[in-house]
């Protein structure tokens, strides 16, 4: 063994081969991909309790931030239109 940990073959360390996946991504990226896959499965399953929480939160938001009378659309004035049509 040459000083510095290199072998004569040019590889550092014991020469243990790593899998293609581990060489490409690394452990941190593998953890992130596994977490993302787990969350995707959880989203696809859509448990009942999550659906209830989502609906209750939406209802609470709609109650808290309901549009006041300033945003309502008024119906057209039918008396004016009748006068114009009858001419």
What is residue 8's predicted lDDT score, i.e. its pLDDT? Answer: 55
To the question of pTM greater than 0.85 for the whole model, the response is no
Q: In whole angstroms, give the CA distance from residue 33 to residue 25.
A: 10
What is residue 80's predicted lDDT score, i.e. its pLDDT? Answer: 62
Q: Determine contact, residues 23/30, Cβ cutoff 8 Å.
A: no
Q: Work out the mean pLDDT of the chain and round it to a whole number.
A: 76
Query: Where in the chain are the domains?
Result: 20-86
75, pLDDT greater than 80: no
Q: Determine contact, residues 8/2, Cβ cutoff 8 Å.
A: yes
For 15, residues 6+ apart whose C-beta sits below 8 A from its C-beta are 7, 9
13-49 residue pLDDT tens: 556 777 777 778 788 888 999 999 999 998 899 899 9
């Amino acid at each position: 063994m040459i000083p510095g940990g290199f072998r004569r073959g040019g590889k550092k360390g014991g020469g243990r081969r790593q899998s293609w996946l581990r060489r490409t991504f690394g452990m941190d990226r593998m953890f992130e991909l596994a977490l993302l896959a787990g969350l995707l499965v959880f989203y696809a399953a859509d448990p009942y309790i999550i659906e209830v929480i989502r609906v209750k939160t939406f209802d609470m938001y709609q109650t808290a931030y309901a549009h006041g009378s300033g945003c309502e659309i008024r119906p057209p004035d039918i008396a004016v239109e009748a006068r114009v049509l009858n001419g």
